[in-house]
Structure 1
Amino acid sequence: MTFKPATALFCTLTAITLALSLGASPLRAAPDDPASVEDETAAFDASALWDEVRADFDLFYAYRDRRGFDADAYLNRVGAYVTAADKQAEFRRRLNRATYAFTDPHLGFGPSDDQDFNVIPTASDLQIGYEAGRYVVLDVRAGSAAMAAGVRPGWMFTHAGDEPVDDATRKVFDPLIDNPSDAQRAYAATLLANGRRTGDRALGFKTADGEAIDLVLANPRNFAWVVTTQPHIETRWIVQDDGTDIAVLRINNRLGDNDLIIGFDAAMRAVLDADGLILDLRNTPSGGNTEVGRSIIGHFVEAPTPYQMHERPSLEREFGVPRRYVEYVLPRRPAFDPKRTVVIGGYWTGSMGEGIIVGMDAAGVQTIASDMGDLLGNKSDFTFAGGAITHSIPTETLFHVDGTPREDFVADIALAAADSDERGSDPAIRAALDYLSADN
């Protein structure tokens, strides 16, 4: 196969626009920003503030009782832990730390400071899994510092700094959880592998051949900012050995920017003669909004088509009346044949990116993906202490139209890793090309 030159739309944005376009999981304010500086003179009643936070959490957190542990018992421990803080900033840090037990990147308390871990998946380049006592690199983000350093899926993650990873993961939950679950260990290890908001990471690995390697990697938050300077959409062409032209549309973390609607329409007009189309959503970790999502899916449907289900547990908790509804996508022009289309995703496909893949699946488009970002539900933002503490919380659960929770969706072709394989090549593009070359 051969490659044609890439084209790009919407190249460089101002810093303000960049910050706004990151969508559901933005890069947090820098430590010296006014929003993240503690007011030492502010009145602070830890017990009253916790009662307010707990009431909203219990009512509105859609996944409160779906994370595999006793939420009531855990939150009682959290209450004792956070109310022991003597300053509001420490109270906020403890609250944020307590959210890690729910293994939900959509859940957090801000504004962040240097003591917080990087926001995942936005400011991350390593995804770590845990099984049978081993912490395994599941995927490495394309273009990142970790990829450039040669880290590959299948490596063992052994040390965070000088500390064995198993000890470090326990400390992430101490003193709230004595024996973390496998999912919690994997989540904590991913936080550790991607480091805190400032500074490089000193990480230890063991390769597939058993070689111990120590690396110092740049902070993945740096790469997250690089992504904001990349084009909204990149178009490239791949000429298959049989002469067919395949267009690849890659979106660079702009699913929260409504300007992408116009940009994507233009990109579609430019690829209408393609023999096949690959929609690449592997670089959309920060989520976005449903207007952008529906605008994209609309190019691949011929009639009004359901694309996701919503459920709002707070209404049943408060009134005893459940609410579930189905959201539809309507056709848009120019149209492209869904049978000649593949959509690909991976661990850096978050929230609205996950929703688009689920919606494209409902529309009959072939899906190829590893596990994705698992940013749960549809989130809302709350504030406490006169706006000094912010709270990001999923208030709706989301489902495929067949009833599968979005976080449990499995693609038509399920990959172990989507950004990189053990050789550093691109497994998702290879699988998509194979599918489009086959007689489907």
Structure 2
Amino acid sequence: MKIQWKEKRWEMLFLTAVFLLLVIWAAILPFDQAADERMRYNVVDYIVRHNALPHGDDPELRNEVWGISYAFNPILSYMVSALFVKVVKLFTDSFDVILFAARFVNVLLGTGTAYFVMKLGKKVFEGGASRMFIALAVFLPQGLFVFSYVNNDGLALFSGAVIIYMWALAMEDGWNFKICTGLSVGIALLALSYYNAYGWALTSVLFFAATVLGGKKKWDFKTLFGRGFFIALLVLLLAGWWFARNYVIYDGDFLGQASSRASGILYAQEPYKPGNLFNGEKLGQGLLGMFFYQDPGWEHNWLVMVAVGFVGLFGRMDLYMPYWWSKLYFLVFAVGFLGVIVNYFPVFSFRGGKRLREVRNVEGGKVLTRVTLLQDHLSSKSIFHWCLLIGMVIPFILLC
């Protein structure tokens, strides 16, 4: 009991440190010194002033250069930000305080993400490996920066952490209704974040089906369709309203992306219309040429910009960390990648094995632990690793 209390205390201190760090960053970051924050904040401000959700091409929101707005995309986090702003405006008209209230949603999402990453790290790793994973994942500079300003990216990261943690729980405890509910909530929040994060929803379907059908000699279609229907129904109830709204106001365009493109064609300045934007194909470049292309306004080629940006690239993608800091992260990632290659077979082999499942119940004032030996015909850990890999690759496929 004493060890558990000590562990809980350290967890609370860790989460408090993350929360305070994000609070400070959100408080001192100048307005619009992050990617498109002004365009994103305009959606929050519109909801506050009109008490209504905006149309994507509303002139109040439409960017004069690009001819589009962030209202074409899901706006759940902006809706919550608007609620926070409304409460704060009852007490003050200070823009700095109002802006912090709008950003505070992401501060909470960042702290929540740290919580689920911490739980995930303790579930899939042990000892020092667990602590290293938690530290690297939570304190990745770019990841922290996302939670310091108004955006919907923070919700995507939070929901992704929830989803992957539910996978880890399902590997150990199976697909009970509690875990199915958690996965449903994670997918619903993901659906209301960013479309390029939807890979985690697709891989959740794959992970669910593979772990349900692959864990036993006889395929368990009852669990597959019964629990699968429960998950799908809950996701539809929680997130379906947004896509139904899009279908109505955008003439059948339930994602809103075709309407966003049409708005760009109609209202964007000529060089920035969707059909006029330059790309590798127009420059006559192949895939490698695109990777190493360097725009006159960039400090590095595209590939280096992406790599550095993954670790930490701030402001409007123009504030770089010291290069030695980025190189240190690259070294850590390289060592981890080599470790995966060396351990390729145990990490990615589908060959099943035996595992123990502990079930604890309280009976007559006593805690009883029942241990069951299970035989998996497909390795749930390998399915987990493959789904993580696929989930990371899908966004790049969507961008191609």
Higher strand share: 1
Q: Same fold (TM over 0.5)?
A: no
Structure of larger gyration radius:
2
Question: Greater helix percent: which structure?
Answer: 2
TM-score computed with the length of structure 1 as normaliser: 0.26
